[in-house]
A and B are shown apart, each in its own frame.
Chain A
Amino acid sequence: MNLLEIEHVSKTYTDKARSFTVLKDISFAAKEGEFICIIGPSGSGKSTLLRMITGLDRPTDGCIYFKNRKVDGVTDKMAMVFQSFALFPWLNVLDNVTIGLEAKGIARKERIALAEKYIDKVGLDGFEEAFPRELSGGMKQRVGIARALTMEPELLCMDEPFSALDAFTAQNLREEVLDLWQDENMPVKTVLMVTHGIEEAVFMADRIIVLSKRPAEVAADVKIDLPRPRNMKDRAFSEVADRIYSLIF
């Protein structure tokens, strides 16, 4: 069954002087349990597409269906991890993680219990009282991930979640995210991730949607069959990565 269907979606920005199309006639579908990466050159509207899927933005044309229902506005069933973390600087880790639950109207005790589980999962235990500014970049993004996971969403959307981190931290976090995704006890099964790193996409995804230059169309939809855990040094890995490169440039 398709969890998510994107049908002929376009996005055009218009101001007084001119109008320009960022996304043109995008269509694809995501099955439950898939890990999908959307890649494309910068300015190709990847992030815009993700924002339209989560309901933060509206398409100019076309429709997006989540569980056969048209997306208009944000829902609890999808959660988002931001490139710049988007943590509230005035809230500590616990309050940042529970903020979505608070909006859901869940009582404080339950909020904390639920949050603790995911704070543990991402390796933040002991940091509940810390403020974002006291954490390193990697730790901040763990907070961002825990905040999304506590919503126990059916679709986890990630907008270049590792691109603000240093290479080491990013690789560690990638592996941890994969572990979480493969964890049988985790409610999150389906992940949609935007990235501009080809190796990153090949390392993580079941499927890669390649967008072309602006106005972006779906240039290719590539299934990645490499066995997990994957190794970036493998020959098979580089062959796949090279193929994706050739699709973009």
Chain B
Amino acid sequence: MGKIKNAIFTIILAALVIAFAYFAYKGQQLNIEGRPLSTDIIFLPYYAARSFARMMAAYIISLIFSIVYGYKAATDSRAERILIPVLDILQSVPILGFFPAAVFFFVSLFKGHTIGVELASIFLIFTSQAWNMAFGYYESLTTIPKDIREASEAFKLRGWLRFKHLYLPSGINKLVYNSILSWAGGWYFLIAAEIISIGPIEYSLPGLGSFMIKSMEKGEIFHAAAGLVMLLAIIAFMNIFLWQPLTLWADIYKYEYSNVNMKEKRGIGYWLWWQAPLLPRIRRWVSEKGFYIMETAGSFVSGKMKNAFNRFAHIAKISNNVIAWVFRILLLYAIGRGVVALITVFSMPLDPVLFEIPRALLCSFGRLTAAYIISLLWTLPAAIWIGHNERVEAVLMPLFQILASIPATALFPVMVFTLTKLTGGMELASILLVLTGMQWYLLFNLIAGVKSIPGDLKEAAKIFNLNRILYWRRVALPAVMPSLITGSVTAWGGGWNALIVSEYVAYAGRIYKAFGIGSMLDSATYGTGNYQMIWASLIAMMITIVAINRFFWGKLYKIASYRYKIES
């Protein structure tokens, strides 16, 4: 029964997405001026600020989305049955493929104004940030220990108070952790999101990504490098002054009842926030002098929030039925239109290229497999090493976080240019490009898995003198199995997404292609503008991905989580 329901949801969602894109494509032309982007280095700080603002806007939307979505899914079991499969699909759909549709949609929404392009780019970044955060938040709400749940019930924490004292704090750890990953993912897609080209029209939003691409196209390697340094500086700055202190602070929100496993509070960012002479003193001064004001204001705001929250909950309760019906009608309408659109598109004479799709899928699948194996070969040993050595972790983790945030997409043209010269084809280049979109998901998931191996298991292994090979076989590998599979699913999701920018690269007026489903989609989108091809390749890709997830990873995960779960 559950499987059938899942399949139905998949179909409905697919139809919905198609309908959305159909409206977007339908007769809309991108009629904005392709303004040339200056690659003067003077503009670099301005571009950096624009890119940062874009990222921040997308992140704030992602954060709000995650909390609302996760909260709803975790507290309403009827909604959960729909929301979670939907999120699962959203996470695995290659969003980049729908990007042109999103651009058309927003641009036509704003009647060709550039704000539409800006919003489309924010939307794309949002789609690269939101899903894992929403999943993480949902997960942390469903894993709240039973006794704390009961205590909240017994002491009658309801509505806003329960959110404030239970649902918000218990999600903070995962939210912080996933925010870091999301920012890394966001930077990766920023490049693709700032240059919008459909057919002959190209529009560059002012930003770091477009600056780097443009200067690289012009051959101004020095400018491109300056852009990269700027980006690295932003990433490093955020790591030191935001993520590190936040991670330390988030320790308070762990279900840890002893001080043993608490991280040592250090780092310049943490020091600045909590220990340096200036900021903490200002904070203390404000909190002492302004205690009364803060208190009144605090309770005022809290009261307002409480009222708003409770009123919202109340309205949601009453209007649930109405909203559900409106939603159903809209859904039916959209599905109807989507089906009609699809029938129209496919009742036209079929393009012979269409029949090459299975072969293209197979080629792309081969590339992904190659990239996956390479990722696994280096991330698994690396994760086991890092996860067992705190000192190594302290050095390498920030480094990997920075490396993961470097948008490899910005380096694509140069990589492709040199690799095609060296190897004479696109094959190796596109595998490497896919690799950059795959490996980090695997690495970070695996490290988290290794770190969750309980200390007593490690000690038992030591006492019984397990050698390295035996330790790997009997302890490390089984223990990381569940996170290996979760990481693999996300890595493959990232891989399919990266495929779209990896098999088809335009550089200095030349197009480099490797035969596969990604390049097929891109050729249709940017070259021929053949709707039949666009939709056929998108649908083929979605079916493949969902099928692999359901029938391969899903099954594997069930087995692994049953056999290798560590009971506490």
Residues in A lying within 8 Å of B, measured CB to CB: 51, 54, 56, 74, 76, 79-80, 82-91, 99-100, 102-104, 108, 131-134, 140, 147, 151
Contact = CB atoms under 8 A, between A and B. Distances in A.
Contact of B258 (A56, A90, A133): A133
B169 interface: yes
Looking at B145, B158, B258, B262, the one whose CB has the most chain A CB atoms below 10 A away is B258
A93 B306 CA distance: 24
Nearest to B261: A133
B250 to A, nearest CB: 10
B551 interface: no
Nearest to A134: B259
Looking at A87, A103, A134, A140, the one whose CB has the most chain B CB atoms below 10 A away is A103
B155 interface: yes
Interface string B259-271: 1001000000000
B474 interface: no
B242 interface: no
A-B complex: 9 closest residue pairs judged by Cβ atoms: A86-B147, A100-B155, A86-B151, A90-B169, A103-B156, A80-B154, A84-B147, A90-B253, A103-B157
B539 to A, nearest CB: 36
A89 B157 CA distance: 16
B257 A140 contact: yes
Contacts of B148: 86, 88
A147 B172 CA distance: 24
B254 interface: yes
Looking at B145, B148, B161, B255, the one whose CB has the most chain A CB atoms below 10 A away is B148
Contacts of B561: none
A160 to B, nearest CB: 12
A89 B155 contact: no
A104 B154 CA distance: 12
A104 B157 CA distance: 9
A83 B148 CA distance: 11
Contacts of A134: 259
Looking at A76, A91, A99, A108, the one whose CB has the most chain B CB atoms below 10 A away is A99
Nearest to B161: A103
B253 A89 contact: yes
A66 to B, nearest CB: 14
Contacts of A79: 154-155
6 contacts: A79-B154, A80-B154, A86-B145, A89-B252, A103-B155, A140-B257
Contacts of A131: 252
Contacts of A91: 165
A88 B167 CA distance: 11
Contacts of B351: none
B153 interface: yes
B150 interface: yes
Given A84-B147, A88-B148, A56 B154 contact: yes
B299 interface: yes
A173 B153 CA distance: 25
Interface in B439-471: none
B256 interface: yes
Name B's interface SS.
Answer: helix
A103 B252 CA distance: 22
B273 to A, nearest CB: 18
Interface string B164-202: 011001001000000000000000000000000000000
Interface size class of B (residues with CB under 8 A): 20 to 34
A74 B166 CA distance: 18
Nearest to B295: A108
A140 B156 CA distance: 21
Nearest to B260: A133
Contacts of A74: 153-154, 156
A51 B161 CA distance: 22
Contacts of A89: 252-257
Contacts, number: 70
A151 B299 contact: no
Given A54-B154, A88-B148, A133-B256, 4 more contacts: A56-B150, A86-B147, A100-B156, A133-B259
A144 B308 CA distance: 31
A141 B500 CA distance: 57
A28 to B, nearest CB: 22
Looking at B154, B166, B255, B299, the one whose CB has the most chain A CB atoms below 10 A away is B154
A108 B299 contact: yes
A83 B257 CA distance: 14
Nearest to B154: A80
Contact of A76 (B151, B156, B166, B259): B156
Contacts of B262: 133
A99 B151 CA distance: 10
A51 B147 CA distance: 11
Looking at B169, B255, B257, B259, the one whose CB has the most chain A CB atoms below 10 A away is B257
Interface in B305-329: none
A209 B258 CA distance: 36
Nearest to A84: B147
Interface string B215-228: 00000000000000
A218 B172 CA distance: 45
B541 to A, nearest CB: 37
A56 B155 contact: no
A164 to B, nearest CB: 10
A136 to B, nearest CB: 9
A151 B153 CA distance: 14
A91 B158 CA distance: 17
B252 A90 contact: yes
Nearest to B149: A86
A100 B152 CA distance: 9
B152 to A, nearest CB: 8
Nearest to A51: B150
B165 A56 contact: no
A54 B169 CA distance: 26
A80 B156 contact: no
B518 to A, nearest CB: 44
A90 B151 CA distance: 14
A106 B1 CA distance: 49
B256 A82 contact: no
A140 B147 CA distance: 14
Contacts of A87: 151, 257
A109 to B, nearest CB: 10
B157 A56 contact: no
A133 B556 CA distance: 37
A91 to B, nearest CB: 7
Contacts of A132: 257
A84 B145 CA distance: 10
A86 B255 CA distance: 10
Given A89-B253, A140-B257, A99 B299 contact: no
Contacts of B254: 89
A103 to B, nearest CB: 4
Nearest to A144: B151
